[in-house]
Amino acid sequence: MNAVAAAENELRIRALGKRYASTQAAGGELQVLDNIDLHVPAGRFVSIVGASGCGKSTLLRLVLGLEDQYEGRITLGGQPIAGTGPERGIVFQDHRLFPWLNVEQNIAVGLRNAPLTPAEKRERVAEHVALVGLQGFEQSFPHQISGGMAQRVAIARGLVNRPRVLLLDEPFGALDALTRARLQNELQRIWQAERITMLLVTHDVEEAVFLANQVVVMQPHPGRIRRIVDVDLPHPRHRSDPRFIALRDDVLADFLEPGVLGAEQPPAPDPSSWRLAW
Ligand SMILES: Nc1ncnc2c1ncn2[C@@H]1O[C@H](COP(=O)(O)OP(=O)(O)OP(=O)(O)O)[C@@H](O)[C@H]1O
Ligand SMILES: [Mg+2]
């Protein structure tokens, strides 16, 4: 990546705050995010972990441009983000595919406003079908493919416009453990191939550490950054690597401390478990 592309693709979040009107909160407002500072250099993979309700999805919604009422600044390549745009793609936990469109038509939805000829669009869709390993399933409809395959379609749709940033909100949260591990490997491969800046929200600490250059640990009430952990391990990564295990356990230890899980803290988790769901 050249220096210009690097500067164009860096995401900066400065002193970000977000409040929602709430009849339950003191003062009629709920402070969801407070003073979030985050710098994601171009081509980096950043994971965000934190308790339910600490504002992770809200943060992604703001970066996506779904809301414009907030404090602070969000810039991409130095330009404040304004509304949604093709340079920011998103993948949600539920794939949100259109049931009446087949796999390639669902991916092509990501290109509906792209300034490309129909032939160029077909080519771009075919490239992304291959990128996520779905050759042979182009004509299948969502009900004819598995949950993991549907998430691959959603990832292809998020990438097909060649966004500068891909936002992922628990993209594998609804999948079984084996499919999830397979798709984590897939996402690692795709990120290595495409080098798009990625921001992943997950409840799965192992997933966060496995994929990211940096893990942002958030804490709730209001949502703040507790700490940022660098993951300086080469790719491709291996789950049995002792350095990986040590980093994963370091991040997990944060969640065993009082207060990090918020008021609705479940019974103390088993420290030997490698994954927390809350
Ligand atoms: N549109 C809204 N209006 C009012 N409150 C909202 C709105 N969206 C989110 N909230 C509140 O903001 C807080 C953060 O929500 P958010 O969905 O960002 O959390 P999260 O960290 O993504 O949680 P989870 O891990 O459960 O997905 C919650 O208390 C939620 O009730
Ligand atoms: Mg969420």
Mean residue pLDDT across the chain? 89
Nearest ligand by distance to the CA of 51: 1
Domain assignment of residue 136, yes or no: no
User: Is 247 part of a structural domain of the chain?
Assistant: yes
Domain that holds residue 194: 3-87+163-254
Q: Domain count for the chain, please give it.
A: 1
Residues 6+ apart with CB under 8 A from 213: 44, 45, 46, 230, 231, 232
Write down the pLDDT at residue 95: 83
Give the percent of the chain with pLDDT over 90.
72
Here the CATH number for the domain that contains residue 36 is: 3.40.50.300
- Predicted local distance difference test score (pLDDT) of residue 83: 93
Whether residue 108 is contained in a domain is answered as: no
Does 113 map to a domain?
no
Q: Is the pLDDT of residue 278 over 50?
A: no
CA 266 to ligand 1 center in whole angstroms? 19
Q: What average pLDDT score do residues 206-222 get?
A: 95
| Ligand 1 neighbour 53 (Cβ under 6 A) | yes
Ligand 1 in contact with 32 (CB < 6 A)?
A: yes
Q: pLDDT tens for residues 181-192?
A: 989 998 999 999
Instruction: Tell me, yes or no, whether 83 lies in a domain.
Output: yes
Confirm or reject: Cβ of 42 under 6 Å from ligand 1.
no
Mean pLDDT of 152-170: 93
Which of 36, 48, 57, 64 should be mutated for ligand 1, with most atoms under 8 A from CB? 57
Q: Where are the beta strands (DSSP E) in 78-170?
A: 79-80, 88-91, 165-169
Q: What is the pLDDT of residue 266?
A: 47
Q: Report yes or no: 174 and 94 within 8 Å, Cβ to Cβ.
A: yes
54 lines ligand 1 (CB under 6 A): yes
Q: Is residue 144 part of a domain?
A: no
Mean pLDDT on 237-262? 86
Nearest ligand to the C-alpha atom of residue 58: 1
Q: Check whether 209 has a pLDDT greater than 50.
A: yes
Establish if 92 belongs to a structural domain: no
56 lines ligand 1 (CB under 6 A): yes
pLDDT tens track for 66-89: 998 999 999 999 999 999 999 999
Query: 137 in a domain, yes or no?
Result: no
Instruction: Supply the pLDDT for residue 150.
Output: 94
Residue 64 has which token pair?
Answer: 């996506």
